[in-house]
Chains A and B, each alone.
Chain A
Amino acid sequence: MERHFEQELQKLKSRILKMGNLVADQIHNTMLALQTCDIELAAQVIRNDKIVDKLDVKIDKLCQRIFALQQPVATDLRMIMSSLKMNNDLERMGDHAVGIASRIESISEYPEILKELEMEELIRQTDVIVKDVINILNTWNTTFVRDIFAQASAIEALSQKITDKILEEMSQKREVIVVASALMIILTQMERIAGYSTNMAESVVFIVDGEMIKHAKPGSLFLNPDTEE
């Protein structure tokens, strides 16, 4: 006899995956809009955030209901705890997509600046890390979790490199200050998207392996810091 609880868990899994795909689409479109300075596509991302927010609340309510009514333990408990957290991470990623999308118009006045700063690679990597982490969420295969950490580090390094370039540009050309400031914020938001992607990967590890790997020392992935209560 199948547990009724199983149906609730399946519902939660499919909603989290739906949220993941929705946010991955939002970020993909944002990156595309940024790359091509497509203001209309950026406006669409901003409009679609409502859908993300709605699903966010729906998932929170489902988790609350499962906690209250089913008293989950072991894998089930980890699954629901992590779903709440991943839901929150995804919603924040969606917000960062909106943050980037809302600044595309101001950049569109100097589209050449993206080329000058060699932003294409960063845009591509941001799109890829999100797709990859959603793939991990879909398959629950933790083999590629390390890759997400490496990708996030690469994004951070690239972002820092571009930030340095922007600072240099700003010091030389006063007219780029407005665009450059917008770009600095965009870079921070791309880094945050990568950061949330690593959180998501950590959550999948917690569900599948029961290992709490967050705050692990760099280079010692899967080795827990001393987290005993």
Chain B
Amino acid sequence: MKDTKIVTKKLSFYYGEKMALNSVSVEMPEKQVTAFIGPSGCGKSTFLRTLNRMNDLIPNVKIEGEVLIDDLNIYDKKVDVVNLRKKIGMVFQKSNPFAKSIFENIAYGPKINGISDKKMLEEIVVTSLQRTAIWDEVKDRMNHSALGLSGGQQQRLCIARTLAVNPEIILMDEPASALDPISTAKIEELIFELKKNFTIVIVTHNMQQAARVSDLTAFFYLGELIEFGKTRKIFTTPDKKQTEDYITGRFG
């Protein structure tokens, strides 16, 4: 069994008066893929964003409970959020490359973290692009704008940009939902490769995607964690009827 990387304890979250997460306790192992599934509005994306304090940016929210990463409560007042987000990278539904060259997109993070040595930067850029299996496609046009890449390539570039600052955890919020099937398959294979070195948490609307890429699956409904366990168990013999109804499409 892998070591635990992320733990939430009785985590509740409110948008104003509205409770979006109700006392969610879960343990996510290191270097595994954990997928969150559930219908729209079930709280899965809110939960994902609590893991690197992205919800801090939203006004009038309240959080209760704890999020521990490597046994440290990330909501502790002493925690430096910038450093926290270096450790926990995030990839969004819509790829969002900077309007800069491919090289600059990847080098941006390391540069603002103080790396100025050109050779070192080049090495980071090449390694990051290789790790996301996009290097061969872009190596001859490193100075071209990243905005000229296809949607799938842009998304892999954004994952490479996340890797460049050497995170430990990668959060992915619907990373392939705007992509065609081939690009989706590439992202899924990439996730499978990346879990050798990173802890990955992915939110997806696509249940089949959760089945294909994840080791563990959490099913959320109306802000509650209904079932959490090994993906192979959840998708073959779930314990809860609600989970069964959702994954078989009988929900409602």
Contacts and interface: CB of A to CB of B under 8 A. Distances in A.
Given A65-B236, A68-B211, A69-B212, A3 B189 contact: yes
B187 to A, nearest CB: 11
- B contact face: mostly helix, strand, loop, or mixed: helix
Interface in B165-188: 185-186, 188
A226 to B, nearest CB: 32
A74 interface: no
A68 B186 CA distance: 20
Contacts of B185: 3
B231 interface: yes
Contact of A68 (B133, B189, B190, B232): B232
Given A65-B232, A68-B235, A68-B236, A1 B211 contact: no
B192 interface: yes
B208 interface: yes
Interface bin, chain B: 10 to 19
Nearest to B190: A1
A215 to B, nearest CB: 31
Contacts, number: 30
Contacts of B193: 1
Contact of B189 (A4, A64, A71): A4
A71 B236 contact: no
- A contact face: mostly helix, strand, loop, or mixed: helix
A1 B189 contact: yes
Interface in A39-71: 64-65, 68-71
A64 B133 CA distance: 31
A4 B236 contact: no
Nearest to B191: A4
Interface string A1-31: 1111100000000000000000000000000
Nearest to A65: B232
A24 B231 CA distance: 35
B192 A64 contact: no
Nearest to A69: B211
Nearest to A1: B189
Contacts of B208: 71
A64 B190 CA distance: 24
Interface of B: 133, 185-186, 188-190, 192-193, 208, 211-212, 231-232, 235-236
